[in-house]
Amino acid sequence: MELATFGRDIVHVDLTRGRCERRPAPREWVEKYVGARGLGVRYVLEAGPSVDPLSPDNVLCFLNGPLTGSEASMSGRWACVTKSPLTGTVTDSHQGGWTGARLRWAGLDGLVFSGRAETPVYAFVEDGEVTLRDASALWGRGIHETVKILQERHGGKDVSVCAIGPAGENRVRFAAWLNEDDRAFGRGGTGAVGGSKNLKAIVVRAAKRKSRVGDPDAWKAARRRALDAIRDEANITSPKKGGLSVYGTNVLMNVTNKIGALGTRNSRTTSFGESAELISGEYVQENLLVDDPTCHACPVACKKEVEIREGPWAGLRMESVEYEPAWSLGANCDNADVASVAKLIDQCNDHGMDPIELGNALSMYMEASERGWTNGEPLVWGDAAAMVAMTDAIAHREGVGDLLAEGPARAAASLGHPEIAMAVKGQAVPAYDPRGMKGMGLGYATSNRGACHLRAYVAAAELGVVPIEADPLEWRGKGELVKTFQDLHAFSDSLDLCKFSAFAEGAEHYAEQYALALGRACDAAEVLAAGERIYNLERHYNNLAGFGAGSDSLPARFTEEPSTEAGSRGHVSELGEMLAEYYAARGWEAGVVPEAKLRSLGIV
Amino acid sequence: MEVAFFATLRAIVGAKRVEIDLPGDARVGELVDALVARWPDLKELLRDESGGLSRRVHVFLDGRSVRWLPEGEATSLEGVESVDVFPAVAGG
């Protein structure tokens, strides 16, 4: 497996004609946009900004980065990039697990789907070849069953399956792709794009292969330096010792609760009080944990497999009660029953849905119900059984489920009250309340894919886990900070290394591994420059698609209704002030990339 | 004064909450010293090489990290309703 040839082995699949054609990515694109996220955005731009996301004209890109599937730590990531049916922006989402790595071992760097198959199909990849197979008998089946059937059909060993479920088939606007049963391309509705194309699954069969690079000793030493940083006991990634490794992402629940940054009851308050402990990583570890599975080349093992032992869902074994869904389906819906949270997440994994969007849709509808703004079928705060039933209804677009399948922003607008949707550019907010973590709020507002915690993830600074620390309640300085973090992550998402590598590694580690893998020069400054170029490319696409002045916003709840909870009491998001700082740092004019900036970055 | 511990610190302390005896005019530094005296394994987490409060741990007074309070370790504990001690954590 030659790492330096990255970008050469991309197969374009025209689903309308049933043709699979190997076409290398233009060298210039790979040079400028690295791979995975960056390269995918360039393909989406090529398809045009006015494309209807659910039409055959949209492209659905599954792309590795130059490091995917290599021996580099935390390199089990690959990206799905398309125009989002939820937001109308370009969107990218990333999975862990093994499918991306296996695609690389099968001799491919990516798959770009266009068109629409006449009947359901799945793509089978082996030895660098892609064939389309009939998926009619799989249509309508959940992801767990689909994975099982396809793994058995193709031999089980060395086989990975990435699939959509009923939600994608029914074009739920926040439908997701999942591989290995539970690793998701979660955000932005990529699963609905798959459903619109009659594409049920991607199956990859390939045994593990070793990377080849020009300087193996230097490559090994660089990887070792990165691994040492990950293992350092001072870092939260330290295997079996750091908080992320021991408890998974849900180690965050108690701390955001304490600092008044845990949105509760559709973000009407900023703390879940004593109930947060009951859905926290600490509680899960003490009461439900049965295993710590991991992804390709990852010593952190943040995934947490749990088993529910009592109550209506006793016997359910699933992964993973992550922080985001534990918040969205827990605190945000006033639901302190962790067993039901696990059940709801597993439903998302089986139906193929984004649990962040689902939780926000349910909490929005709960608030609407409380205020008497629904037309029957009310949903009561914390009614776990009703949440489970509504989740099935959403996946199948039945009754009120059909309304909520449009996502909380569209659904709230349909109810005549768009102000109760906690969303940015049509995508719902994640688990950090912008009143208690100012930088995260700015990150939501300026994310190119709608509200998102991962584009910037300045939580690492605001919670003090990286050397650059920032007071979560101070708005000054957040403009430059958010820009820097967005640029760094745009690069790591294009390599494609796990986001959490940034808790231990820095731009220097990324530069060194990228340079040795590709056999080219690269330093930390170039990492940030490439990240900036990718971020501006995304923004340029969005500008062409109609996003501009006013698009970088937050719901008024965050800017006008002060927090009433300890840690952030009295605070709102000073979004206007932060945006001014941010646009100055970016060189943008009211959210638009000027022509001169595009030229200076080599985008046009 | 009751102090709550979270995540990996609970295994060291052996409890979620503990009661610490402190004088009425105690400040954060004295609390940290009292914790280290009772659980010596906390020292390398709570104290950095220069004896200051380590970056690896956050002590929150009513939801605000001592790191962001103007008087830092010299902040008085008088009137504080909750003290929470976390290792540095993140995820997403």
A120 contact B CB<8A:
no
If you write DSSP's letter for every residue of B13-47 in order, what string do you get?
HTSSEEE----TT-BHHHHHHHHHHH-GGGHHHHB
Q: Is the pLDDT of residue A74 over 90?
A: yes
Mean pLDDT confidence for A288-299: 96
Q: Is the pLDDT of residue A571 over 90?
A: yes
Per-residue confidence at B91, pLDDT binned at 50, 70, 90? Answer: confident
User: Would residue B25 count as lying in a domain?
Assistant: yes
The answer to whether the CB atoms of A251 and B62 lie below 8 A apart is no
- Rounded CA separation A277/B14 (Å): 17
Q: What is the CATH number of the domain that holds A38?
A: 3.60.9.10
User: Would residue B92 count as lying in a domain?
Assistant: no
**What count of other Cβ atoms lies within 10 Å of the Cβ of residue A316?**
16
Per-residue confidence at A454, pLDDT binned at 50, 70, 90? Answer: very high
pLDDT of A430-448, one tens digit each? 999 999 999 999 999 999 9
Per-residue confidence at A171, pLDDT binned at 50, 70, 90? Answer: very high
Are residues A195 and A80 both part of a single domain? yes
**Tokens at B82, concatenated:** 């909750």
- Rounded CA separation A184/A575 (Å): 31
Residues A31-40: b if buried by 16+ CB within 10 A, e if exposed: ebbbbbbbbb
Are residues A271 and A385 both part of a single domain? yes
Per-residue confidence at A417, pLDDT binned at 50, 70, 90? Answer: very high
Q: What is the mean pLDDT of chain A?
A: 97
Residues of A within 8 A of B72 (CB-CB) are none
Candidates B7, B67, B88; nearest CB to A247? B7
- Rounded CA separation A494/A522 (Å): 15
Candidates A258, A503, A566; nearest CB to B90? A503
Mean pLDDT confidence for B75-82: 97
pLDDT reported for residue A588: 98
Q: How far is A566 from chain B (nearest CA, A)?
A: 6
User: Would residue A227 count as lying in a domain?
Assistant: no
**Cβ atoms of residues B33 and B22 within 8 Å:** no
Q: What is the ipTM of this complex?
A: 0.98
Phi (first) and psi of residue B59, to 5 degrees: -105, 120
Q: Is the pLDDT of residue B92 over 90?
A: no
- Rounded CA separation A192/A321 (Å): 24
Count of the separate structural domains present in chain B: 1
Per-residue confidence at A180, pLDDT binned at 50, 70, 90? Answer: confident
A256 contact B CB<8A:
no
Measured between CA atoms, the residue of chain B closest to residue A281 is B7
Mean pLDDT confidence for A95-123: 98
* CA distance between the termini of chain A: 33
Q: Which domain holds residue B33?
A: 2-87
Count of the separate structural domains present in chain A: 3
Tell how many helices (H) and how many strands (E) occur in chain B. Answer: 3, 5
Residues of B within 8 A of A471 (CB-CB) are 68
Residues of B within 8 A of A242 (CB-CB) are 8
Interface of A with B in 296-355 (CB under 8 A): 302, 322-324
The answer to whether the CB atoms of B91 and A244 lie below 8 A apart is yes
Measured between CA atoms, the residue of chain B closest to residue A467 is B55
- Is the bond leading into A496 cis (omega within 30 degrees of zero)? yes
- Rounded CA separation A192/B36 (Å): 54
Q: Is the pLDDT of residue A460 over 90?
A: yes
- Last residue within a domain, chosen from A384, A409, A428: A428
Per-residue confidence at A375, pLDDT binned at 50, 70, 90? Answer: confident
Are residues A584 and A487 both part of a single domain? yes
| Neighbour-count burial of A118, counting CB atoms closer than 10 A to its CB (0-12 exposed, 13-18 middle, 19+ buried) | exposed
Are residues A105 and A191 both part of a single domain? yes
Q: What is the CATH number of the domain that holds A278?
A: 1.10.569.10
Residues of B within 8 A of A323 (CB-CB) are 91-92
- Rounded CA separation B6/B87 (Å): 7
The answer to whether the CB atoms of B86 and A469 lie below 8 A apart is no
pLDDT reported for residue A44: 98
pLDDT reported for residue A246: 96
Q: How far is A471 from chain B (nearest CA, A)?
A: 6
For chain B, the C-alpha Rg in angstroms (whole number) is: 12
Mean pLDDT confidence for A472-500: 98
Q: Is the pLDDT of residue A192 over 90?
A: yes
Which residues have CB under 8 Å from A59's CB, separation 6+? A43, A44, A46, A47, A82, A83, A112, A113, A114
User: Would residue B80 count as lying in a domain?
Assistant: yes
Q: Is the pLDDT of residue A475 over 90?
A: yes
pLDDT of B12-65, one tens digit each? 999 999 999 999 899 999 999 999 999 999 999 999 999 999 988 999 999 999
Candidates B10, B67, B81; nearest CB to A282? B10
pLDDT reported for residue A221: 98
